[in-house]
Structure 1
Amino acid sequence: MGLMIPDPDDQATLDVSAAIAVLQSRIEKAGLSLKESADFALFEKTVRSTEDKYLMEDFSPRFFDLHGTTAFWVGAVNSHGNVVSVQAAKVEDLKDRSLAEHWHQQQRRIFVDPNPQVRFGTEHAHDAYFMRGRIVYHGNLWLRRDIRGQGLAEPLTQLGFLLSLLKWSPDYLYGLMAAKSAEKGFGIRVGYRRFVPRGTHWEIAPGHIRPDDWLVYATRSDLHGLVKLILRTSAEDPE
């Protein structure tokens, strides 16, 4: 028998699972339990019961047929059984068009057609014109006020990133982030590695959409780098 060389992909999967376990234990130490689901009718109900109440169109069953092979959401629940955080992710297979072209088609259908005074621009984030392949959108991230500032936003968000990596091994994972949060470094802390100071371009934005969002994203290898970072820091600091 020759020496068996471990398959790097298998090793990577083990590493991602190990990093997810590290994040899970950090979150559970703070007294929260996690629940993952692909039931987006339940997601809508859960979001509507939070103080924020904002369900993004991208994760609304009214606009999209969301199911377990292409989307999931995660809720964090405190010891009283109250939901204190939610987030969601979904994957698109963009073989034949760029992310910018995909936005153009999708945003027009959701926001512009039903709302004639809204005007969608054409100068979207530069990188979005070059991003193709399996692309995950991560969004609808919400933390209840009383758990903010306790260092939970990072492990919760990273958990969503790594579940996406484990499920779909995407070419890219992206979000749209308020300029203020991006400039404060929140994106870097959670694991985004690339920043473009414009997201989708609106000439006249719908009332509830911020026109100052940045496109923030990570490549597959950036996400594997995040996995290594999580494992390294947990080895250095087992607490």
Structure 2
Amino acid sequence: MKGIANPLQVSRFMQVYDAAAARKGIKVSIGFNFDEYVAITRATPTKGRTYPNFRPDRSPIKSGEGFWILGVDKNDNVALLEAARLYDLSHSNFAEHLQSLKVFFADPALHAHHQDCCTCIAPSAKKITGKVAYLGDRWVRRDLRGQGMSKIMAGLARGVSYAMWAPDFLCALVARQLVEKGVVYGYTHHEPGGSILRLIEEDIVDDDCLVWQTGEELKSLVEGGNELILTS
């Protein structure tokens, strides 16, 4: 997406979500060191293993091309986690990037098992190109679920993604049951068959929907003040 983010509008947008988290007793911070992020996720009870695309041992993230969100409660216990990274798909598309396994591994020939595979049949995945912001690894502690924390996380991740990258697309892969329940916020579009995935050594078997919004839709959300807190 062309253009530069309006820092004042981004600040106003982010403040809505930071304040909403604070009202629930959660202090939010942003990090960029993914070795630190993996250490936090591994030490967090009930948090599943972080997928390899956010682990430096399998997919290093260059400075300025990724961030993570941490929320802690009044006792400094981890309450929220999410990660984001930027893919340069100026000469490719998201479907190709998935099926080559390069979404998950910097070097699939080195790190992927010979039986690993990913199929993407979501038609729009081939149209997702350019600067693509990918969100994932979201975790909300059980006692905080059903309290609007997913909207808060969605807003924070969008604000930072827009401020850092002003991407052409923002997307994620989400379990179908979550899409069907209507608890996936901020994405304008969704299609089934985004990632039919098997990673042997990671013990991962998924059949996820592709969810996304365009860069213009992201800009309209952030700079237009259409807060997810106020609308589903």
So what's the TM-score if we normalise by structure 2?
Answer: 0.86
Going from structure 1 to structure 2, the CA distance change for 1:232 and 1:180 (only over 3 Å counts) comes to closer
In structure 2, the residue corresponding to 1:197 is in which secondary structure? strand
Q: Contact conserved, 1:56 with 1:140, CA < 8 A, in 2?
A: yes
Equivalent residue in structure 2 for 1:117, among 111, 115, 118: 115
Q: What residue in structure 1 maps to residue 78 of structure 2?
A: 83
- Deviation for aligned residue 1:137: 0.6
Partner Cα separation in structure 1 for residue 30 and residue 124 of structure 2: 31
Which residue of 146, 150, 169 corresponds with 2:147? 150
Asked if structure 2 preserves the Cα contact closer than 8 Å seen for 1:205 and 1:211, the reply is no
- Measure the CA separation in 2 of the matches of 1:231 and 1:156: 10
Shift of 1:151: 1.3
- Structure 1 residue aligned with 2:33, among 36, 39, 53? 39
Whichever structure has more helix as a proportion of its residues is 1
| 8 Å Cα contact 1:125-1:201 kept in structure 2 | no
Q: 1:114 to 1:91 in 2, by over 3 A?
A: closer
| Partner in structure 2 of residue 3 of structure 1 | none
Q: CA RMSD in A?
A: 2.5
More strand by share: 2
Structure 2 residues not aligned, in runs of 5+: none
Corresponding position of 2:53:
58
Q: Is 1:167 the counterpart of 2:164 in the alignment?
A: yes
Name the residue aligned to 1:19. Answer: 13
Contact (CA 8 Å) 1:38, 1:66: kept in 2 or not? no
2:64 corresponds to 1:69: yes
Match of residue 92 from structure 1: 87
CA contact (8 A) 1:24 1:159 kept: yes
Aligned residue number for residue 183 of structure 2: 186
Contact 2:27 2:72 in 1 (8 A): yes
**Corresponding residue for residue 200 of structure 1:** 195
Mapped partners of 1:215, 1:50: distance in 2: 27
- What percentage of residue pairs aligned between the two structures are identical? 27
Letter in 1 for 2:23: K
1:7-29 CA distances to partner (integer Å, 9 max, x unpaired)? xx678442222110111111111
Q: 1:181 to 1:66 in 2, by over 3 A?
A: same
Residue 25 of structure 2 aligns to a residue whose secondary structure is coil
SS of residue matched to 1:156: helix
Aligned-partner residue type, residue 30 of structure 1: K
1:135–1:16: structure 2 CA closer, same or farther, 3 Å change rule? same
Q: Deviations over 1:51-89 (max 9, x none)?
A: 214111110010122243100101001000111111010
More moved, 107-116 vs 172-181: 107-116
Q: Which runs of 4+ in 1 moved over 6 A?
A: none
Shift of residue 185, structure 1, vs aligned partner: 1.1
One-letter amino acid of the structure 1 residue matched with residue 17 of structure 2: L
8 Å Cα contact 1:198-1:215 kept in structure 2: yes
Task: Write the distance in 2 (CA, Å) between the matches of 1:61 and 1:232.
Answer: 33
Give the count of matched residue pairs: 222
Separation of aligned partners in 2, 1:223 and 1:18: 15
Per the normalisation by structure 1, the TM-score is 0.84
Query: Structure 1 stretches of 5 or more lacking a match?
Result: 1-8, 235-239
Cα deviation 1:143-184 (Å, max 9, x = unaligned) = 111111111111122201111011100000100000000111
Matched, 1:103 2:98: yes
> What's the counterpart of residue 237 of structure 1?
none
